[in-house]
Amino acid sequence: MADVADENSGIAGGFRRLWPRRREAATPTSRELATTPPARPGAAISSAQLQALFAHAEEPGALLSAFADGVAGLPGELHGMGERLQSAHADADWPRYGRAMRQLIDKYIRTIQDEPLSGEAEQLRDLLHHLLVGGMEHLLRDDTTLLPQAHALADRVRQWQPAQPLAELGNDMKELCLQVGLRTHEVNDAQELMRSLFDLLLENVGELIEDGSWLQDQIGAVRQLLSGPLDRTALEQTRAGLREVIYKQGLLKQGLADSKASMKDMMVTFVERLDGMASSTGEYHDRISFHAQAIRDSRSIAELGKRMEDILEDTAQVQAQALRARDSLMEARREVEEAERRVMSLEQELQSVSELVRVDQLTDALNRRGFDELFKRESVRALRSGQTLSLALLDLDDFRHINAAHGHLGGDAALCHVVALARATLRASDAVARFGGEEFVLLLPDTSFLEAMGTLERLRDRLAHKPLVYEGRGIVATFSAGVARWLPGESQDELLARADRAMYQAKQAGKNRVVAATE
């Protein structure tokens, strides 16, 4: 008969709960185990003693005796049950031995249930069920094939118990993950295709618009957004900017309509006045002819005086009508001029709103688009004039620690503080741009390489001596920077790459320093 399992492997089945496992101070030899008497009633039998009891029990009688001694070695009621088994075995009273075993099975063994899941295992099962139901619900909400499979698999996970096999469930989960991965690739491909189609549409619309139009800026902003990863913050900012433009467009359209209506009214009035003046002039001509004939037929000075009074009265009426027409035309002209001023003001506001797409909404520094346009202009000017164009790329040191200590609002305030000090340090012709996160670029026209290095050192010194006070606490921001001089014919990306390598060297050298880029 096989030996009972040792204490490291445990006792299989429901009997595992009947014999508590105790670690002995020293393991006895086989001979000692064979002669070890049963444990005292107050102490539970050890695993080594159980092994000794069953070591040589190969016959039915020896097995029944070892079983009775083993039960008698347990504490409490089981000890009494073991003594009854020992007594029945000693008297060879097998019916009484059978009754005692039946009582043992009925009272202790039959009531043992399958071991439930432990707390951590149950929690893990519930989390997996929640993942399949909640996570897959959003990921596969439009997939009528995979979503029911995920729900069915979630129900199977929720009902799983330790005694049930895992192989089939695991294979089904692997298959579902594979199908979800393929579905995700399809969705990503469809989104990429939609982005490319939208970008192509915007490109075609841009070709139909004149280069100076403010619509070009809006189309360029959306196309730049489509070209990179879709960031939620950038999307919100672009949408807000486009909404402002749409609002201004509505005002401009209304202003143009008002101006058009005023111009139309002025022309109608002008034509009506001309028509009236023509009619009056015709009547006046007829009256003058009549008065001329009457003067020829006059016989006295009194008749001549009366005709002169009539001529003066008719002339005064024509003059008054002409003055009224002139006043009406002048008023219509003023209305048209006022409408034109409103349209001009709206166009200027729309242009200013359009320029917002070149500015970082948080720090009011140039964004990547604004910097690209500025660099293009300044590089052309530097090439034409022969002046030096310098660039510095700087990155704030350990910015995540600022966010951790002061929150994201404190981090945003630190970014604005850096831009404000940079502008106070730079000249009016210089520019600062935010490239994203805590990375900034300074463009320094007509600035030699040594002057650019000195400008960055002054900015670093100002940051050290003018910390930001946020919610009563000081925030000291430092940066590592790389400075590079633009070489004629060098592209913007190549210049930024040289400055970036120098900035990385500053980080490796201990941060909070400025390093010159190699040419």
Structure confidence by residue, pLDDT tens digits, 326-356: 777 777 677 767 767 776 776 666 555 555 5
Predicted TM-score of the model (pTM): 0.41
**Structural domain includes residue 506:** yes
pLDDT at 460 (0 to 100): 94
278-307 tens-digit pLDDT:
566 666 666 667 767 766 676 667 766 776
Half-sphere exposure of 9 (CA within 13 A, CB side): 8
Q: Are residues 484 and 411 in the same domain?
A: yes
Q: Are residues 383 and 482 in the same domain?
A: yes
Q: Are residues 345 and 376 in the same domain?
A: no
Q: Are residues 407 and 499 in the same domain?
A: yes
**Structural domain includes residue 482:** yes
pLDDT at 354 (0 to 100): 53
On the question of pLDDT at 511 being above 90, the answer is: yes
pLDDT at 30 (0 to 100): 36
Q: Are residues 441 and 303 in the same domain?
A: no
Q: Are residues 416 and 325 in the same domain?
A: no
Q: Are residues 28 and 89 in the same domain?
A: yes
Domain boundary among 109, 128, 162: 109
Q: Are residues 335 and 394 in the same domain?
A: no
Report which of 337, 332, 335, 336 is spatially closest to residue 270, judged by C-alpha positions.
332
What whole-number distance in Å separates Cα of residue 321 and Cα of residue 332?
17
Q: Residue 128, exposed/middle/buried by CB under 10 A (0-12, 13-18, 19+)?
A: middle
Phi, psi of 516 (to 5 degrees): -85, 135
387-438 tens-digit pLDDT:
999 999 999 999 999 999 999 899 999 999 999 999 999 998 999 999 878 9
Higher-pLDDT residue of 394, 246: 394
pLDDT at 393 (0 to 100): 96
Q: Are residues 348 and 381 in the same domain?
A: no
pLDDT band at 324 (very low <50, low <70, confident <90, very high): confident
Q: What's the one-letter identity of residue 501?
A: R
- Structure tokens, 170: 């695991």
DSSP 141-176: TT-TTHHHHHHHHHHHHHH--TTS--HHHHHHHHHH
Cβ atoms 358, 372 nearer than 8 A: no
Q: Are residues 387 and 412 in the same domain?
A: yes
pLDDT at 29 (0 to 100): 36
**Structural domain includes residue 227:** no
On the question of pLDDT at 265 being above 60, the answer is: yes
pLDDT at 312 (0 to 100): 73
Determine the structural domain holding residue 175 and report its residue range: 137-203
**Structural domain includes residue 498:** yes
**Structural domain includes residue 280:** yes
Q: What is the mean pLDDT of residues 93-107?
A: 84
What whole-number distance in Å separates Cα of residue 223 and Cα of residue 198?
9
Token pair 């490796």 in the structure block, residue: 508
The distance in angstroms from the start CA to the end CA of the chain is 86
* Strand 479-485 versus strand 514-516 pairing type: parallel
**Structural domain includes residue 26:** yes
CATH code of 379's domain: 3.30.70.270
Q: What is the mean pLDDT of residues 490-512?
A: 94
Phi, psi of 252 (to 5 degrees): -65, -40
pLDDT at 64 (0 to 100): 87
Q: Are residues 293 and 384 in the same domain?
A: no
3-state SS, residue 45: coil
Biggest CA–CA distance in the chain, Å, is 182
On the question of pLDDT at 320 being above 70, the answer is: yes
Long-range CB contacts for residues 21-30, cutoff 8 Å, separation at least 24: 21/47, 22/46, 22/47, 24/48, 30/55
**Structural domain includes residue 117:** no
**Structural domain includes residue 418:** yes
On the question of pLDDT at 234 being above 80, the answer is: no
Q: Are residues 310 and 413 in the same domain?
A: no
The domain tally of the chain equals: 4
Token pair 């996970």 in the structure block, residue: 157
Cβ atoms 480, 512 nearer than 8 A: yes
On the question of pLDDT at 358 being above 90, the answer is: no
